Amino acid sequence: MAVIEMQKEPRSIKSVLFVAALIVGFLVLGGAIYWLIKPAKPRTITLTGAQAKQATANFVPPATTLPWMPPIPQAQDPGPTLISLDLKQATPRQAIAEVASRAKVDLNLQNIAEQGFLAQLTAQRFDIAYKNETFWSAVIDLCRKGKLTPYADWNAPNRIAFSQGNADSALGPSVAVGSCVVVLENVTSRFTANLTGPRPASRDLRVGLKLFVEPKVSPYRISTIANLDVANDERGNNLIRPRGQWDDRNGGGGPQSTWMRDVECLLLCPENAGERITRLKGYCSVAVAGPPRTEKIEAPLDKKGVDIKFDGTFVRLLEVRKTGEEYYVRMAGDISSPVFKEYERMQNVVKLIDTNGKEFQRSGGSYGGGRPPAFEFGVQFSGAGMSEPKELHVTLPTAVRELRVPFEFTELPLPH
Amino acid sequence: MRTTRYLAATAIVLLAGSAFAGTPRPPQVVTTQRAVVAPEAFKPSDPVMQSPQAAKALSATLVSAKFENTPALDAFAELAKKTGYTIEVYDNGGGNTTKYGRVTATINNQPFWLAMREICARANVGLYYYGDSEADKIQLMPSNYGQQHAMKAAVSIQGPYMTVISNLDRVNNVNMAAPEKTDRSVNLQVYTFAEPKARPTQYAYQPTVDEAVDENGNSMVPDASDPQQQRNMQSSRGVSFYGNVRLRYPTTNPGKRIARVRGHIDAKVQLGSEPWEIADPLKATDQSKTFGDKKVTFKKLTKNGDGRYTAEFAFYRGENEDQQAFQQNAFQTEPVIKLSDAGDGRYQSWSSGGHSDGKQVTRQFTFNRRDSSGRRVAVSADAPEPNKLVLEVPTDVKDVAIPFELVDLPLP
């Protein structure tokens, strides 16, 4: 029996031509797209003396990049200070003072002082008993009883002060986590109209929290934005909004409190959003740090691209530029580091010293720019009455760590 | 059969390609919104219009012009020539080239701000509204600042004033200490521009709403008891100033549009001033001059370590003047104050402190040098020292209620 093998069908020239034409077509298309988007070739232009002077003044340096840094290591919560107390017919103010003295915390009770016989007589009194209650849980409970609100004075941000009787500042439900307490403050939706066209309004949803941290934790910085793992409404919409570059940056406003901060959960508010946020789960981020360290850079006017790294904190000196009598120190830090989130802190990273050992006065500054993970900032120094810069001092915190304060809330209103 | 397969394969490739390209975003449609225009802001019978000087200042400057594919900056130059006003790009555009469009329009005897808005809306130009120490200058927003469509929003042009809406949002808030209640409000932010001749020296931060109604006829006038309704005066820097209005959101059957918001902004308008020139101010000290019954003393001009200059003036309380009113006016009025030098330098100035003992208010003003084009420049050792300081002391200030009316606004 003969075995007849199947003969391959001869390949049609038409199909070969078709595939070839398709390939050529794609190549032409790809070439055309590349031609459209390719960067322009660098050109060399010879400038006259006056043009060169003008061009130097207007030169915009290219965006800076830095290597990606690993996430900040996590810190261990030292645990809450536990309070046991048994007071009969005490005012909330007396009880708060007692709690603070046991926790060795500095308070300013002037605004809620019960001064005078009548104030003493009319002050509300309670029997107060706590057994192993955390410091902040006890203080917040007493604030609720006495209609008090903790706040940080602008001129003494590390001291716990209290105000009385403001109904809008009443404290919402809270969650105690280690040495911290997270208070749920408000849920706000905002619809902003498009004023010049038919586009629908932009929609924004935020849940406001207040984070209280025991002073013994001594935070370096408390992030103003919460990190979210879950945010859903009853219709199953995922409400988590991707983090933007400017979400957790603060410019101006002076030093921030190290024991309390308003923290926002930034959410999406789709057109078909439900009536309730069924689950909101995430954490607040508290940065803690060790003592600062200073690196000295000699003859800074000649230096460019000097990297400084202290235990995970990274900064690069890009350049020191002289314009008239002013010196502009241009730096770049890691975009996600808590060291480079606030304008005031960035302005204090560098000091410029002249040949006589005299410190230059800061005359301004800026921040923004760079390509992630680089975040540029600059400090301007006045050179009036100074000699040439001899040293640049760069001071950064060491051992920066992140303390995560988890929270979870369910069945929150979603107002429209 | 084979041909069909080729066609199908091609279709699949093309469809896959378009799927990768994603859904095209709808193009942004920008439309110039409605303007309410009245050449007169005040009736002739209004007490404020009784003096001829006030009547002239508080009426719109009427302009006529014809533009045929004219570059926006040329059109503004034409308006500046016709009115005598200075119209410039803010900070000379920061050294960047402005990218405004061109204008084709015929303007026939219309209020100055209507002409300005026509040029801005057609050529995609925004007006700079943050104010400036050169108070009488009308400034254009540099094109790299964005907001090129800002002047296309709804406006109210009433006499020498134009009010434009810059933001409108609805805010719904639940305070979790009392979660059963939702607080709803509608917030409007407006900017008002004055012709330089009718520029306020002070204005109320919160305009007063006389009428606010949505398309369904619901009143949106805010409650008088709303704690956010304030009438405090703010000092003005330049020809523009802002205001915030908080309206009530209807509880039943709210509309999708606000049919009308009508109201006024309480302001103090300077109708007359007297310049006082101090020559060689770095050497001059303690010179006084009386304006009406008001005495003003120039104390000194000093050069600071950072290359800036600080001038100090004392303003004295009039004989029968109320102490509180005197202090409020002295601190809340930003006087026009100009420093100059032989090098054609211009100076940016700002209020940098002050104190009062009840009888006199002492105020400091700091100056930073600009170059002759108005750009801010770094301090230079070669810059000439100032040789002249001029303070414009207001001599005729009137209380004026600047009217506004905005119609057909979206209600999100």
Same domain, B240 and B294: no
Are the beta carbons of B228 and B274 closer than 8 angstroms? Answer: no
Q: Are A250 and A224 in contact (CB under 8 A)?
A: yes
Q: How many Cβ atoms are within 10 Å of B318's Cβ, its own excluded? A: 12
CA-closest candidate to residue A299, choices A317, A286, A311, A276: A317
Q: Is B84 exposed, middle or buried (0-12, 13-18, 19+ CB in 10 A)?
A: exposed
A82 Cβ contact partners less than 8 Å away, ≥ 6 residues apart: A132, A133, A134, A135
Nearest-Cα distance to chain A for B382, in Å, is 9
Mutation to test the A interface, candidates B28, B172, B187, most A Cβ within 10 Å: B172
Q: Flag if A382 and B307 touch (Cβ within 8 Å).
A: yes
Percent of the residues in chain A that have a pLDDT greater than 70, as a whole number: 88
For an interface test with B, the pick among A56, A191, A362 (most B C-beta atoms closer than 10 Å) comes out as A191
Would you tell me how many other CB atoms lie within 10 Å of the CB of residue B161?
26
Closest Cα in chain B, distance from residue A138 (Å): 18
Contacts of A363 in chain B (CB under 8 A): 306, 379
> Between A15, A189, A324, which is nearest B380 by CB?
A324
Position B374 scores a pLDDT of 61
Question: Could you tell me the CA-to-CA distances from A159 to A105, A151, B72, B291 in Å, in that order?
Answer: 9, 9, 56, 50
Per-residue pLDDT tens, chain B, 412 aa: give them: 455 555 555 555 554 455 444 445 555 678 889 999 998 999 989 988 988 888 999 999 999 999 999 999 999 999 999 999 999 998 888 777 888 999 999 999 999 999 999 999 999 999 998 877 778 899 999 988 888 899 999 999 999 999 999 999 999 999 999 999 999 999 999 999 999 999 998 898 899 999 999 999 999 999 877 655 566 777 777 899 999 999 999 989 999 999 999 999 999 998 888 899 999 999 998 999 998 878 999 999 998 876 789 999 999 998 888 888 888 888 877 788 889 888 777 788 888 888 988 889 999 999 888 766 666 665 666 678 899 999 988 888 889 999 999 999 999 9
Backbone angles phi, psi at A148, to 5 degrees: -110, 155
User: In B39-85, which ranges are E strands?
Assistant: 62-71
CA distance A130 to A354: 59
Instruction: Share the mean pLDDT of chain A.
Output: 87
> Hey, is the C-beta of B107 within 8 angstroms of any chain A C-beta?
no
B146 residue type, one letter: G
Residues forming a β-bridge with A85: A130
Closest residue to B380, CB basis, from A14, A196, A325 = A325
Count other C-beta atoms under 10 Å from residue B90's C-beta.
19
Q: Choose the mutation target among B176, B191, B309, B376 for the interface with A, i.e. most A CBs under 10 Å.
A: B176
Contacts of A171 in chain B (CB under 8 A): 177
Q: Is A153 on the interface with B (CB under 8 A)?
A: no
Question: A324: which residues sit within 8 A by CB, 6+ positions away?
Answer: B377, B378, B379, B380, B381
In order, the DSSP letters of B200-248 are EEEEESSPEEEEEEETT--B-PPPTT-TT----EEE--SSEEEEEEEEE
Mean pLDDT in residue range A209-233? 94
Burial B391-408 (b: 16+ CB within 10 A, else e): bbbbeebbebbbbbbbbe
Instruction: Give the DSSP letter of residue B15.
Output: H
d(CA B8, CA B17): 14
Looking at the fold, whether B366 and B303 belong to one and the same domain comes out as: yes
Digit-coded pLDDT (tens) for A14-56: 888 999 999 999 999 999 888 888 776 767 777 777 777 666 6
Write out the two tokens for B246: 């908080």
Q: Across the interface, do B305 and A382 touch by the CB < 8 Å criterion? A: yes
pLDDT in tens, A55-85: 665 666 666 778 888 889 999 999 999 999 9
Q: Is A412 on the interface with B (CB under 8 A)?
A: yes
Look at residue A14 in the predicted model and tell me its pLDDT.
85
Q: Which of B30, B95, B172 sits opposite A189 (nearest CB)?
A: B172
Neighbours of A416 (CB within 10 A): 15
Q: What is the pLDDT averaged over residues A207-214?
A: 96
The reported pLDDT for the residue numbered B166 is 95
Give burial (CB, 10 Å; 0-12/13-18/19+) of A18. middle
What's the number of CA atoms in the CB half-sphere (13 Å) around residue A171? 27
| Portion 189-218 of A in contact with B at CB < 8 A | 189-199, 201
Determine contact: A127 vs chain B, CB below 8 A: no
Is residue B172 less than 8 Å (CB to CB) from chain A? yes
- Residue A16: the pLDDT is 86
A-to-B residue pairs, Cβ atoms closer than 8 angstroms: 119
DSSP-assigned letters across all residues of B106-123: EEEEEEHHHHHHHHHHHH
Distance from the Cα of A365 to chain B's closest Cα (Å) equals 13
Residues B243 and B283 in one domain: no
Structural domain boundaries enclosing B344: 272-398
- Residue A382 has its nearest CB partner, among B170, B176, B379, at B379
Tell whether B236 is within 8 A of chain A (Cβ): no
State how far residue A412 is from chain B, nearest Cα, in angstroms. 9
Band of the pLDDT at A9, cuts 50, 70, 90? Answer: low
In sign, the C-alpha dihedral spanning B198, B323, B327, B354 is: positive
Instruction: Please say if the pLDDT value at position A167 is more than 50.
Output: yes
Q: Given an 8 Å threshold on Cβ–Cβ distance, is B177 in contact with A201? A: no
A147 pLDDT band, cuts 50/70/90, is confident
**Together in a domain, B213 and B340:** no
DSSP result, A300-323: GGG--SEEEEETTEEEEEEEEEEE
- The residue to which tokens 């999406």 are assigned: A268
Confidence of residue A3 (pLDDT cuts 50, 70, 90): low
If asked whether residues B151 and B224 sit together in one domain, one would say yes
- CB contact under 8 Å between A15 and B182, yes or no, is no
Residue of B51 and A266 predicted with greater confidence: A266
Using the Cβ of A154 and the Cβ atoms of chain B, whether some distance falls under 8 Å is answered with: no
Give residue B22's pLDDT: 47
Residues 6+ apart with CB under 8 A from B127: B116, B120, B138, B139, B140, B141, B150, B151, B191, B193, B240
Token pair of B14 as six digits: 């093309």
Cβ atoms B41, B161 nearer than 8 A? yes
Q: Do B258 and B306 have their domain in common?
A: no
Three-class DSSP category at A194: coil
Same domain, B246 and B312: no
In B343-382, the residues whose Cβ lies within 8 Å of chain A are 377-381
* pLDDT the model gives residue A208: 97
Question: What is the pLDDT, as a whole number, of residue B20?
Answer: 47
| Residue B22 contacts A, CB cutoff 8 Å | no
Q: 0.90 exceeded by the pTM?
A: no
Residues B222, B324: one domain? no
Beta bridge partners of A362: A381
What pLDDT score does A79 carry? 93
Residues B389 and B248 in one domain: no
- Contact map slice: B 261-290 vs A, CB within 8 A: none
**Taking Cα atoms as reference points, which of A92, A95, A97, A258 lies closest to residue A179?**
A258
Of A193, A197, A326, the CB nearest to B30: A197
B153 with B112, same domain: the answer is: yes
Query: Which CATH number do you get for residue B356?
Result: 2.60.40
Among candidates B169, B176, B410 on the partner chain, residue whose Cβ is nearest the Cβ of A190: B169
- pLDDT at position A44, please? 73
Q: Which residue in B171, B176, B306 is closest to A173 by CB distance?
A: B176
- Which residues, other chains included, contact A258 with Cβ-Cβ below 8 Å and sequence gap of 6+? A157, A158, A213, A215, A218, A219, A220, A222
CB contact (8 A) between residue B174 and residue A194: no
Give how many domains chain B has, as a whole number.
2
Judged by a CB distance cut-off of 8 A, whether residue B2 touches chain A is yes
Same domain, B356 and B403: no
Closest chain A residue to B171, measured at CA: A190
C-alpha neighbours within 13 Å on the C-beta side of residue B163 = 25
- B196, B212: one domain: yes
Hey, is the C-beta of B97 within 8 angstroms of any chain A C-beta? no
CA distance B326 to B337: 20
Q: What is the dihedral of CA B79, B85, B86, B89, to 10 degrees?
A: -50
Contact: A412, B176; criterion CB under 8 Å? yes
Lowest mean pLDDT: which of A82-91, A116-125, A333-342, B212-221?
A: A116-125
Pick from A157-171, A275-289, B269-283, B319-333: least confident: A157-171
Q: Which amino acid is at A93?
A: R
Q: Could you tell me if B152 lies within 8 Å of chain A, comparing CB atoms? A: yes
Q: Searching chain B, which residue's CA lies closest to the CA of residue A195?
A: B153
Residue A243 CB coordination number (10 Å): 13
| C-alpha A373 chain-centroid distance | 14
A168 and B175 within 8 Å at the Cβ level: the answer is yes
- The CA distance from B314 to B330, in Å, is 10
Please check whether residue B12 touches A, CB under 8 A. Answer: no
Q: Which residues of A touch B247 (CB under 8 A)?
A: none
Contact B233, B334 (CB under 8 A): no
User: Nearest-CA distance from B188 to chain A in Å?
Assistant: 10
What pLDDT sits at residue A256?
A: 76
Q: List the single residue in A173, A193, A325 with the smallest CB-CB distance to B307.
A: A325
Question: How far, in Å, CA of B317 to CA of A384, rounded?
Answer: 39
> CA A223, CA B385: separation in Å to the nearest integer?
47
Residue from B210, B191, B323 nearest B263 by CA: B210
**At residue A241, what is the residue type?**
R
Q: If you write DSSP's letter for every residue of A13-60 in order, what string do you get?
A: HHHHHHHHHHHHHHHHHHHHHHHHHSPPPP---PPPHHHHHHHHHH--
CB contact under 8 A, A195 and B28: no
Mutate to test the interface with A, among B175, B226, B247 (most CBs of A within 10 A): B175
Specify the 3-state DSSP secondary structure of B75.
helix
Backbone angles phi, psi at B47, to 5 degrees: -55, -30
Distance from CA of A367 to the nearest CA of B (A): 17
Closest CA to A296 of A360, A353, A356, A358: A353
**Stronger pLDDT, A395 or B272, i.e. the higher one:** A395
Q: Could you tell me if B263 and B207 are in contact, meaning their C-beta atoms sit under 8 angstroms apart? A: yes
